[in-house]
Amino acid sequence: MKPSTWRWILLAAAAFVVLVLLVSVATAPKHPAALIRIVDASTNPIAGAVIHPEGLRTKPGPYVSGWYGWRADLNGVPNPPVTTDIDGYARVPYPKYVFERIETGTLCLSVNHRDFVPDRPERMVAMAPPAGAPWRVRLDDLWSRIRHKILIARPDPIVLQRGAILKISVRPDAVISANARLFAQVSGLASEDTNYWIRPEPGVIVTRRLSAGPHTVRAVQFESAGSAWFSDVTSITAVTGQSNELVVDLKRGVTVSGQLDGTVLRPVKGGRVVAHVWPQGAKPQDNPPQWHGWTAVREDGSFSIGSLPAGDLEIVALCDGFVSTNGPGQSKMCYPQKHLLGTNDIAITIGMEPTARLEVQVTDDKGNPLKDAHVSTWPNVRYGEWSATILACDCYNMADLLQEGPKPGAWWQQLVPDFQGTSDSSGLAVIPNLPRNVAEFNVEHPRFALPAVVTAGGDKRRQASVTLIPGQTNRVSVRLEPRDESPIKHY
């Protein structure tokens, strides 16, 4: 064969390889994906398990932070539930970055199957050091993989366990009708799976998916008019494959009524009261059965929340211009006021104090007023010195969740207009109703961002500081920079 012919063959082969590479790049997934496997205790694959991606954690390294909610609107990767195939595998796409250029390292998941105990595992899905890591870090990582024979990242299988059986029945001579629908609350259970409980007959509820170990349990039953009846909270120790039976008595829930104190001007506008009840003396970190409810405040400042169980009551309030004063607490967050609920209705007065108004003047990197910049704050309320959420975002009723099932999306965290505002054509954003302990705010815009600052923990955040004086209009100015000018990175 002539040399020229060989050259043409080699050129054609090279062109074919380039074409294949271009097609591969063009058709490759836009985002990385983890291949998650679900097995039982004997390592047999479990088909039909539903995996729901819920959160993200960053890669290990100099920038390590906490749990981040999965926000498809920001990271561009939706997180619908996926189901395992006959071999127990499911493909879970995830964003390369948790935010900006901070890389994803771990997925936070929930897993459900009708025959197994629900689980909320986490799996490391990206093992390589973050981009920009020094050569010594990369060599140490490579040597570690060689020693442990894990050159390719493969998440460990998720092992689901068989459960214990729990049967709860209402005592036959109960006052409430046996036909009223029965529910149960179990410590540590965060499952939204409708297959978790079965109701073989009126006044009886059963699960075969209770995790082994100690639990606290409460039964709840609803009258036709919607009033809730509660059993006492009972301790049990569940053993896989064995049955536990509880026969319970029920007591009608109590009502907390009252008023906002005289500090608040009447008529009251935009008022809401949120109540959270823990079993008396329980440790919140044990995730015992708990109850949550809320109500709007009437213009005369009065309110009423019915059907609450006995226990330790925590209560907060917010209305236009005022917020409830802090109860006991150890941090700079908002804290609920506390009361003890027994078997009788109670009436209380909620202490209130003025909030602050914040006006933020937003400009671009040239000093020009910037329109459509979204300014937000996140004043947290801390329940039980354990869990925290944005104040007054948790306006939901546990009774509705039990009877109707969870709503789509983040039903436990709703938008609070009081804590955010959008800049107008003059660059002015107004946040009307902030507790005094708010000390920072964020600004989001499609093309601009706040300059990053180093926090006390050593990581970087795009936030600005402010000191508020309640009862007054507080003013501050911020100058943004182009969003892609200096992205936050691990290194």
Task: Return d(Cα 125, Cα 131) in angstroms, integer.
Answer: 16
The structure tokens 């709007």 sit at 296
Find the range with the poorest average confidence among 15-24, 353-362, 429-438: 15-24
Task: Return d(Cα 233, Cα 312) in angstroms, integer.
Answer: 13
Q: Dump the DSSP string for 83-128.
A: E--TTSEEEEE--SEEETBEEEEEEEEEEE-TTS--B--EEE---S
Task: Return d(Cα 429, Cα 273) in angstroms, integer.
Answer: 27
Report in angstroms the alpha-carbon separations of 185 from 177, 232, 319. 20, 11, 32
* Model pLDDT, residue 130: 84
* Model pLDDT, residue 146: 62
* Model pLDDT, residue 141: 65
Per-residue pLDDT at 75 exceeds 90: no
The residue-averaged pLDDT of 360-372 equals 98
**Token pair in block for residue 52:** 């729901």
Per-residue pLDDT at 304 exceeds 90: yes
CATH architecture of 33-159: Sandwich (2.60)
Per-residue pLDDT at 38 exceeds 60: yes
Task: Return d(Cα 350, Cα 340) in angstroms, integer.
Answer: 14
Residues paired with residue 145 on neighbouring β-strands, in sequence order: none
Q: Which helix (H) or strand (E) holds 11?
A: helix 3-27
* Model pLDDT, residue 24: 44
Tell me the average pLDDT of the chain: 89
Highest mean pLDDT among 98-102, 138-142, 440-444: 440-444
What are the start-end ranges of the H helices in 202-312? none
Which residues of 127-250 form beta strands (DSSP E)?
A: 158-159, 164-170, 182-186, 204-210, 213-222, 228-230, 234-238, 243-248
* Model pLDDT, residue 22: 44
The residue-averaged pLDDT of 91-120 equals 94
pLDDT digits (tens, 9 = 90+) for 234-253: 999 999 999 999 999 999 99
Cβ atoms of 433 and 426 within 8 Å: the answer is: no
Say which residues have a Cβ less than 8 Å from residue 275's Cβ, sequence separation at least 6: 256, 292, 293, 294, 305, 308, 313, 314, 315
Report in angstroms the alpha-carbon separations of 87 from 35, 368, 424. 12, 59, 55
* Model pLDDT, residue 66: 81
* 151 or 228, higher pLDDT: 228
On the question of a common fold for 33-159 and 254-482, the answer reads: yes
Q: Which of 209, 108, 92 is nearest to 160 (CA)?
A: 209
* Model pLDDT, residue 74: 76
Q: pLDDT-based confidence at 410, cuts 50/70/90?
A: low
Q: Looking at the domain covering 254-482, what would its CATH class be? A: mainly beta
pLDDT digits (tens, 9 = 90+) for 164-204: 999 999 998 776 776 788 999 999 886 556 689 999 998 99
Stated length of the chain: 491
Per-residue pLDDT at 317 exceeds 60: yes
**Token pair in block for residue 39:** 């097995």
**Extents of the domains making up the chain:** 33-159, 165-252, 254-482
* Model pLDDT, residue 418: 96
Q: pLDDT-based confidence at 475, cuts 50/70/90?
A: very high
* Model pLDDT, residue 26: 42
82 phi and psi angles, rounded to 5 deg = -125, 155
The CATH code for residues 165-252 is: 2.60.40.1120
Cβ atoms of 448 and 370 within 8 Å: the answer is: yes
Q: Which of 254, 250, 239 is nearest to 307 (CA)?
A: 254
pLDDT digits (tens, 9 = 90+) for 136-167: 777 766 666 565 555 455 789 999 999 999 99
pTM assigned to the model: 0.88
Burial class from Cβ neighbours inside 10 Å (0-12, 13-18, 19+) for residue 147 reads exposed
Q: Dump the DSSP string for 324-385.
A: EPP-S-SSSSB--EEEEE-SS-EEEEE-EEE-EEEEEEEE-TTS-B-SS-EEE---EEEETT
Find the range with the poorest average confidence among 6-15, 154-163, 249-258: 6-15
The residue-averaged pLDDT of 395-411 equals 81
In one letter, which amino acid is 164?
A
Q: pLDDT-based confidence at 207, cuts 50/70/90?
A: very high
* 138 or 325, higher pLDDT: 325
* Model pLDDT, residue 23: 43
* Model pLDDT, residue 30: 65
* Model pLDDT, residue 154: 73
Say which residues have a Cβ less than 8 Å from residue 62's Cβ, sequence separation at least 6: 458, 490, 491
User: Prior bond to 267 cis, omega within 30?
Assistant: yes
8 phi and psi angles, rounded to 5 deg = -65, -40
Task: Return d(Cα 219, Cα 210) in angstroms, integer.
Answer: 15
* Model pLDDT, residue 21: 45
Task: Return d(Cα 431, Cα 295) in angstroms, integer.
Answer: 23
**Token pair in block for residue 253:** 């829930």
The residue-averaged pLDDT of 300-316 equals 97
Task: Return d(Cα 323, Cα 345) in angstroms, integer.
Answer: 24
Q: Which of 306, 302, 269 is nearest to 291 (CA)?
A: 306
